[in-house]
């Protein structure tokens, strides 16, 4: 039986993937089950406005928005303030890897958009412990970033008494492992009418699922670091802006360059805000045998944004032909792990069945 999807790019390197009799993978089938909803922007705008109207003017802030200085979060912040007229407080998670260029863009745009903003920092040793755990267990720092990001948003929104938290993850990120990912239920709940959502139950399920992946000691450390301000069951909805609005990367960049002071000198505008992103991508490539972006490109194929042939060209251009030594050394030095041992482990993982 084929180990590659006949429709998208997914193959045997993608975790939890299997092929159906029609030659398409389970992720293609899962996307298809939601496709009509994901493209009904008239209905999606109504769902988004239900969430806006439910909180507007009822809290100290209508929304909390996490911004990294990247294009997507900056765009979302602009839209919420200027198009939806929300009272927003922005925040940035400072994990020590935020690029100087991103920091500069943050400082410029929050002043330009007239919003309050706060850099969120953590105990350095506790932060290092979380990243080391992520590297030892999953080989990459990105899972630590993901957990810290989600948990901080949940905590911070309650801390400042904002009605909801809005983030700028794209549909390709949200749907790359849809139906198998811990956060798939955020998509499911987000596509419901606001009055039908059960926020407390939703977050308790997510947090329990995450806690099961963490060791007992790490779980206690993370809760100490990230949930200091959330009172029992004091959850606010976590809203994905691009679940309800069309997304085109080039259009977002064009809009920001025409309407704001946001600028990026770096050739790579996708993740210029993270100074160790190249290291993480390289480790993923060593462990998976291909660029980590493959599942996201597959979502873009399903969503009719690019053809399969175009996706293959993008994938080839994202393949590392040499090691990003500077970034790798910095990451390994930070977490106190041997680069040689880490890359050896990644290559062993590559041979394991997914």
In sequence order, the 6+-apart residues with CB closer than 8 A to the CB of 46 are: none
pLDDT digits (tens, 9 = 90+) for 241-299: 999 999 998 999 999 999 999 999 866 667 789 999 999 999 999 999 999 999 999 99
Domain boundaries, the chain: 40-244, 274-349
Distance CA 263, CA 266 (A): 9
Fold of 40-244: Rossmann fold (3.40.50)
Confidence (pLDDT) at 269:
61
* Beta carbons of 101 and 265 less than 8 angstroms apart: yes
In sequence order, the 6+-apart residues with CB closer than 8 A to the CB of 310 are: none
* Cβ neighbourhood burial of 123 (10 Å; 0-12, 13-18, 19+): exposed
Distance CA 45, CA 49 (A): 6
* Beta carbons of 6 and 23 less than 8 angstroms apart: yes
**Successive 10-residue mean pLDDT values, the chain, 354 residues:** 87 93 97 96 97 97 96 97 97 93 95 96 89 91 86 88 94 93 88 89 78 74 71 80 94 95 78 91 94 96 96 95 95 95 91 71
* Beta carbons of 113 and 256 less than 8 angstroms apart: no
């Amino acid at each position: 039986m084929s180990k590659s999807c006949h429709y998208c790019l997914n193959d045997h390197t993608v975790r939890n993937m299997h092929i159906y009799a029609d030659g398409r993978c389970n992720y293609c089938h899962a996307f298809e089950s939601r496709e009509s909803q994901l493209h009904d922007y008239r209905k999606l705008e109504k769902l988004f406005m239900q969430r806006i109207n439910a909180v507007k003017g009822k809290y100290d802030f209508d929304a909390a928005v996490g911004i990294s200085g990247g294009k997507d979060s900056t765009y979302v912040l602009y839209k919420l303030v200027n198009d939806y007229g929300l009272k927003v407080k922005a925040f940035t998670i400072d994990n020590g890897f935020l690029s100087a260029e991103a920091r500069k863009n943050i400082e410029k745009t929050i002043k330009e958009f007239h919003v309050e903003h706060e850099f969120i920092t953590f105990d350095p040793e506790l932060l290092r412990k979380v990243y080391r755990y992520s590297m030892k267990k999953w080989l990459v720092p990105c899972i630590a970033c993901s957990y810290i990001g989600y948990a901080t948003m949940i905590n911070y929104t309650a801390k400042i008494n904002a009605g909801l938290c809005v983030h700028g993850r794209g549909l390709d990120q949200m749907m790359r492992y849809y139906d198998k990912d811990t956060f798939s239920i955020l998509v499911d709940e987000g596509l419901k009418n606001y009055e039908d959502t059960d926020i407390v139950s939703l977050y308790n399920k997510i947090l329990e699922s995450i806690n099961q992946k963490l060791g007992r000691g790490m779980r206690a450390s993370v809760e100490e670091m990230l949930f200091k301000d959330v009172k029992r069951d004091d959850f606010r909805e976590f809203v994905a802006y691009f679940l309800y609005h069309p997304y085109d990367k080039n259009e977002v960049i064009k809009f920001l360059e025409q309407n704001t002071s946001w600028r990026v000198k770096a050739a790579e505008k996708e993740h210029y805000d993270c100074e160790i992103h190249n290291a993480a991508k390289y480790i993923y490539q060593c462990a998976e045998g291909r660029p980590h972006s493959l599942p996201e490109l597959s979502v873009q194929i399903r969503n009719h944004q690019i053809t399969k042939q175009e996706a293959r060209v993008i994938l080839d251009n994202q393949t590392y032909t040499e090691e990003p030594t500077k970034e790798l050394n910095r990451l390994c030095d930070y977490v106190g792990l041997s680069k040689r041992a880490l890359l050896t482990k990644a290559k062993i993982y590559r041979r394991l069945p997914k």
